[in-house]
């Protein structure tokens, strides 16, 4: 999610629709034009020229302009502008170029989208230039009284007006600061238009809007002739209704692939992050990388080794994608790789940083499935596959994929965190021999064993004492405590486990805030002991009850994080706020930054994993699982303090730093958005002033200028400690078109913002800058060794590695423990990617159209019964659904509903009347008739025996129905059973009994309960799904009464809703329908 360019037609359409609203009716815009797509090449479907004319009759009534609408700059100079044309001329001009290759400067692409709009006759002096763009602390408007293709360097020419975040733009400000060179007569109208345009810009969350030329005609109307615009896509939840369906076109020169659309669609439907950009579909080197920052680092390293032109794709799969999502992603990549053969074969690098919470084994299940699908193609295309992955359950994932690779004969090379993140790349490119693969049969990778650096002669550290300056972000101590917003029990448990390992005296989390439940307590572990933590519904109450908590860790979603953060900053005890959510609109972030700086509150994020200070505080999931905390020795402080944009890469930095120095002193991921709450400089100044931080490490990225602020601080002497730095995104120079990298801010808006320019500037300023990220570990080792040798760092003896308390759930998942289950369930399973009924995925239930009867057969009988049986179940539910309001169950339900009871209580009131006298005869009838038939007794003897023993025959008898006036429910069920069941023995026996009983009294017929019962027994015994023993067991279990309960519940609920709909009052039974007996019990009336 990021700032993305939109088509000119989209921008003008929005302005045409909303300009009257934002100008109070003072300004309007003519036709925004019509977008012509490749569909016009097919006269039989989609967009045809006839349809275009039908929908836009103005096209034949005015002269027109035609031009490509594909984010192409300087179209006029490239000869891609048709001016003052008739409709037929414009049509011919478009058709001549549609879907044809066109070279624009150094980029060649296919022209596929054209804008046809009205031609506006005007004079050169009526052309002007305007541009609005956003910065960290302000919006800025550029205006020049001249415009057009030859306007020149507007950055130096234009008048500028900065509007600070939260400030109001006025007409006087516009006239005074922007319109000085515009004729006075034009100023009021132009000022009014600019005010309206700025409101439009703000309300629709634009991040960039340029109109050149902007024409003001003699009648005072203002017309935008050419427009370029970018919108903050993250604001869709705020602006979707006003935006409508926006198209996000790829840069000119890069085709839009259906595979990209597939992944983009999947990304929009999942909580994971799935991205794919195809750079060179014939390229030899393909990557499948987990993590936004990691994806850039992998592309960089390939490019830095000179293979940038062979890089085929850029993308990421991260944020805990499911097994199925990973399968689709891997299958898509492998399918693309098979399109074109390469004589030297191809390379697939499957990598990623050390995950925080993604189950590596689960995602690799999807990868293995894709490898199995393409195994033969992989071998035929001579594809070499190198894998490097780490994080939760990584060992199991690597084991599984290695076994699968060996079984399929793919020759996979598999590595874990014992190598750094990009170590596999020179191996994959053939630049070095592959390293020995790790032993995957043991436990997870432990912390590295390092020998202390030998110091020949100890020197005294001459570094000057740090300044005593105040910093907005308060450096954490072992007493720092926090409040966590959101019921993030996993993250909080991770924070407490870290605290315990660091030997803190008390947990670093004081309370949680969760507004969707009442105040309560949640159980956590402190080591191996259990402890209770309070949960409040408001931040206000949490801060009042815990005034010493100074850190607010906000896990609210991007939809609500603005309001919750602004509120938290109103409480004076909060000094630092960490915003975890990704996708926070830039306008909201900038407002948060302004509010925080006014209150001297430090911010980390948005879009951050947090930060970590060994021995003191861990924010959220920073550092990953506990085994990674141990592996990177984050339980005790080292000497290296780092700042990173990427949260995923912070885990890698922890690993790299630990293996090449004495470890991390503190680390912060500031977040990958364009405007992070705190900047590199904010943290580097803290580290400079902290005596414990000896060596500083920066991992920046393409986009933004924050690195230059740090350079100035080094040049001025404010920062004197050595800094090792690398800016990711160096691969951008290899791409012919603009690429949006994984983070919203990872996009250069000028030469100074490129990674290469930043790395060069930092190196010239005296930073230690390696030749590529792959060389960063060596650079850290080199500088650290020098600092130890010259006495600036004094190494300490490594203490005992703490034991890691492991949660039972996770240990069980890893297969390390077992215990008997408290419950056993064999009918449903909700643990996987999809709910299953008796092993059948819910999607298959719908695809097979099995209906309620089929679902019931799976959940009650644990098998899929034949269609005739499931249809019979449906029939039973239908005929038992209701029998009027007078029966006891319906009566109770009605009385309860009229007494004001809720639906569940009223339903239960009705259900509790079901028994031997009402509705509960089904099971008894089934047992009675089947037992009689199985014993071989004749129907007549059966009736006689029941009479002799004074027993009622269950299922026989009706209040009003007879053979001459049959119950239609019985007729329907009986006829269906006779037609569809293989055997009707019990039914025939019951009908024979009916012939005998009706001779005694006409209404002693087989009633609906009895008919359902005997037909159900016949169905179970003859359908082939059950053994005789299983069928008899089901009858004993009471499943027939269950059918009546299920069916009749529909009727009871109907009666409940009916009474509410009719607004019936409290029911009171009429006294004249009650016989009152006044005599006392035991009284005897004397003889007269």
Q: What is the CB neighbour count within 10 angstroms for residue 7?
A: 21
- 304 DSSP assignment: I
CB distance 287 to 306 below 8 Å: no
* DSSP string for 110-176: E---EEEEE-----GGGEEEEEEEE-SSEEEEEEES--STT---HHHHSEEEEEETT----HHHHHH
In angstroms, rounded to a whole number, what is the distance separating the alpha carbons of residues 509 and 528? 17
In angstroms, rounded to a whole number, what is the distance separating the alpha carbons of residues 258 and 245? 19
Q: Residue 131: which residues within 8 A CB-CB, separation 6 or more?
A: 141, 142, 154, 158, 208, 209, 210, 211, 212
Tokens of 530: 């259990």
| Residue tagged 């230039």 (tokens) | 129
In angstroms, rounded to a whole number, what is the distance separating the alpha carbons of residues 132 and 716? 33
SS3 for 869-917 is: HHHHHHHHHHHCCCCCCCCHHHHHHHHHHHCCCCHHHHHHHHHCCCECC
Q: What is the CB neighbour count within 10 angstroms for residue 516?
A: 6
Q: Shortest CA distance to 13 belongs to which of 249, 242, 313?
A: 242
Tokens of 196: 């309206």
In angstroms, rounded to a whole number, what is the distance separating the alpha carbons of residues 442 and 608? 33
The helix (run of H) or strand (run of E) holding residue 931 is helix 921-935
The helix (run of H) or strand (run of E) holding residue 278 is strand 273-278
Q: Which 3 state secondary structure label does DSSP give 658?
A: helix
The helix (run of H) or strand (run of E) holding residue 386 is strand 383-388
In angstroms, rounded to a whole number, what is the distance separating the alpha carbons of residues 450 and 454? 12
Burial 739-766 (b: 16+ CB within 10 A, else e): bbbbbbbbbbeeeebbbbbbbebbeebe
Catalytic residue among 9, 113, 205, 743: 743
In angstroms, rounded to a whole number, what is the distance separating the alpha carbons of residues 1085 and 1088? 9
In angstroms, rounded to a whole number, what is the distance separating the alpha carbons of residues 634 and 663? 7
- 303 DSSP assignment: I
Q: Are strands 222-224 and 227-232 parallel, antiparallel or unpaired?
A: unpaired
Q: Shortest CA distance to 276 belongs to which of 284, 285, 265?
A: 265
Where residue 65 falls (left for φ over 0; alpha for ψ -120 to 50; beta otherwise) is beta
The helix (run of H) or strand (run of E) holding residue 54 is helix 49-55
Burial 51-82 (b: 16+ CB within 10 A, else e): ebeeeeeebeeeebbbbbbbbbeebeeeebbb
Q: Quick check: is 743 catalytic? A: yes
Instruction: Spell out the alpha helix ranges (H) of 689-754.
Output: 706-715
Q: What angle do CA 1064, 1066, 1072 make, to 5 degrees?
A: 105
Q: What angle do CA 812, 816, 819 make, to 5 degrees?
A: 55
Tokens of 540: 């206000």
CB distance 337 to 275 below 8 Å: no
Q: Which are the catalytic amino acids?
A: 743
């Amino acid at each position: 999610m990021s700032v993305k360019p939109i088509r000119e037609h989209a921008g003008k359409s929005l302005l045409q629709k909303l300009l009257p609203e934002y100008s109070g009716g003072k300004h309007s815009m003519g036709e925004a034009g019509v977008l012509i797509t490749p569909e016009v090449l097919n006269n039989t479907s989609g967009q045809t020229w006839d349809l275009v004319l039908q929908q836009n009759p103005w096209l034949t009534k005015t002269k027109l302009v035609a031009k490509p609408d594909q984010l192409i700059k300087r179209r006029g100079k490239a000869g891609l502008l048709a001016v003052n044309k008739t409709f037929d001329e414009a049509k011919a001009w478009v058709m001549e170029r549609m879907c044809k290759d066109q070279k624009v400067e150094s980029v060649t692409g296919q022209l596929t989208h054209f804008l046809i709009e009205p031609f506006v006759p005007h004079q050169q002096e009526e052309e002007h230039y305007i541009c609005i763009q956003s910065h960290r602390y302000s919006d800025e408007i550029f205006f020049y009284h001249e415009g057009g293709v030859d306007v020149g360097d507007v950055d130096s020419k234009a008048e500028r007006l900065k509007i600070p975040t939260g400030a109001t733009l006025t007409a006087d400000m516009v006239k005074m600061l922007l319109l000085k060179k515009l004729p006075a007569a034009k100023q009021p109208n132009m000022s009014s238009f600019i005010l309206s345009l700025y409101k439009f810009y703000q309300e629709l969350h634009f991040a960039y809007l340029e109109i050149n030329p902007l024409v003001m005609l003699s009648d005072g109307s203002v017309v935008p002739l050419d427009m370029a615009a970018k919108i903050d896509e993250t604001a869709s939840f705020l602006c979707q209704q006003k935006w409508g369906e926006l198209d996000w076109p790829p840069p000119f020169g890069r085709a839009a692939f259906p595979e990209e659309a597939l992944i983009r669609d999947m990304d929009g439907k999942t909580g994971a992050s799935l991205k794919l950009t195809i750079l060179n579909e014939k390229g030899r080197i393909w990557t499948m990388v987990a993590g936004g920052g990691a994806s850039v680092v992998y592309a960089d390293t390939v490019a830095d080794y000179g293979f940038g032109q062979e890089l085929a794709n850029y993308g990421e799969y991260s944020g805990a994608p499911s097994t199925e999502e990973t399968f689709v992603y891997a299958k898509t990549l492998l399918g693309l790789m098979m399109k074109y053969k390469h004589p030297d074969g191809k390379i697939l690098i499957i990598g990623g940083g050390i995950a925080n919470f993604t189950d590596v084994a689960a995602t690799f299940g999807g990868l293995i499935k894709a490898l199995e699908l393409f195994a033969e193609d992989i071998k035929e295309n001579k594809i070499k596959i190198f894998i490097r992955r780490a994080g939760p359950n990584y060992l199991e994932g690597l084991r599984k994929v290695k076994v699968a690779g060996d079984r399929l004969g793919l020759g996979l090379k598999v590595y874990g965190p014992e190598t750094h993140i990009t170590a596999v790349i020179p191996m994959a490119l053939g630049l070095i021999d592959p390293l020995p693969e790790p032993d995957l049969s043991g436990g997870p990778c432990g912390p590295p064993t390092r020998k202390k650096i030998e110091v020949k002669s100890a020197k005294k550290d001459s570094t000057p004492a740090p300044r005593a300056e105040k910093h907005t972000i308060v450096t954490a101590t072992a007493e720092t405590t926090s409040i966590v917003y959101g019921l993030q029990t996993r993250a909080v448990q991770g924070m407490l486990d870290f605290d315990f390992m660091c030997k803190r005296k008390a947990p670093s989390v004081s309370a949680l805030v969760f507004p969707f439940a009442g105040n309560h307590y949640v159980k956590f572990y402190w080591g191996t002991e259990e402890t209770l933590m309070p949960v409040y519904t408001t931040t206000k109450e949490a801060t009042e009850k815990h005034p010493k908590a100074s850190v607010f860790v906000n896990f609210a979603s991007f939809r609500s994080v603005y309001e919750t953060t602004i509120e938290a900053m109103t409480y004076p005890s909060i000094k630092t706020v960490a915003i975890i959510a990704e996708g926070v609109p830039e306008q909201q972030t900038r407002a948060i930054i302004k509010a925080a700086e006014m209150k001297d509150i430090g911010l980390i994020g948005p879009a951050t994993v947090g930060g970590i200070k060994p021995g003191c505080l861990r924010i959220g999931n920073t550092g990953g699982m506990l085994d990674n905390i141990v592996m990177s020795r984050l339980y005790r402080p080292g000497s290296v303090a780092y700042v990173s944009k990427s949260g995923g890469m912070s885990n890698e930095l922890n690993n790299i730093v630990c293996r090449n120095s004495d470890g991390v002193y503190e680390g912060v991921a500031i977040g990958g958005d364009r405007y992070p709450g705190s900047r590199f400089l904010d943290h580097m100044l803290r580290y400079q002033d902290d005596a414990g931080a000896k060596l500083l490490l920066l991992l920046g990225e393409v986009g933004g200028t924050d690195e230059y602020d740090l350079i100035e601080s080094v040049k001025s002497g404010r920062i004197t400690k050595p800094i090792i730095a690398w800016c990711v995104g160096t691969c951008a120079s290899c791409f012919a078109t603009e690429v949006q990298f994984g983070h919203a801010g990872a996009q250069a808006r000028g030469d100074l913002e490129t990674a290469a320019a930043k790395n060069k500037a930092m190196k010239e300023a005296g930073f230690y800058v390696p030749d590529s990220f792959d060389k960063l570990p060596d650079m850290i080792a080199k500088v650290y060794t020098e600092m130890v040798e010259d006495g600036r760092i004094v190494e300490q003896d490594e203490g005992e590695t703490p034991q890691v308390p492991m949660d039972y759930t996770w240990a069980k998942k890893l297969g390390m423990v077992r215990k008997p289950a408290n419950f056993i369930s064999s009918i449903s399973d909700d643990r996987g990617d999809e709910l299953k009924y008796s092993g059948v995925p819910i999607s298959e239930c719908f695809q097979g159209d099995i209906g309620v009867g089929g679902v019931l057969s799976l959940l009650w009988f644990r098998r899929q019964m034949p269609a005739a049986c499931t249809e019979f179940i449906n029939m039973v539910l239908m005929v038992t659904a209701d029998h009027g309001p007078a029966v006891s169950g319906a009566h109770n339900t009605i009385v309860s509903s009229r007494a004001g009871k809720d639906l569940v209580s009223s339903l239960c009131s009705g259900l509790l009347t079901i028994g031997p006298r009402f509705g509960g005869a089904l099971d008894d009838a089934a047992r009675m008739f089947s037992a009689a038939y199985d014993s071989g007794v004749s129907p007549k003897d059966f009736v006689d025996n029941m009479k002799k023993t004074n027993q009622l025959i269950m299922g026989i008898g009706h209040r009003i129905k007879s053979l001459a006036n049959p119950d239609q429910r019985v007729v329907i069920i009986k006829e269906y059973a006779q037609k569809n069941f293989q055997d009707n023995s019990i039914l025939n026996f019951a009908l024979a009994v009916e012939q005998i009983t009706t001779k005694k009294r006409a209404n002693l017929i087989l009633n609906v309960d009895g008919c359902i019962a005997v037909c159900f027994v016949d169905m179970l015994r003859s359908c082939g799904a059950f053994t005789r023993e299983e069928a008899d067991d089901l009858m004993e279990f009471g499943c027939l009464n269950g059918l009546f309960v299920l069916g009749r519940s529909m009727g009871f609920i109907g009666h409940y809703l009916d009474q509410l709909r009719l607004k019936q009052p409290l029911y009171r039974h009429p006294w004249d329908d009650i016989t009152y007996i006044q005599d006392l019990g035991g009284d005897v009336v004397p003889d007269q």
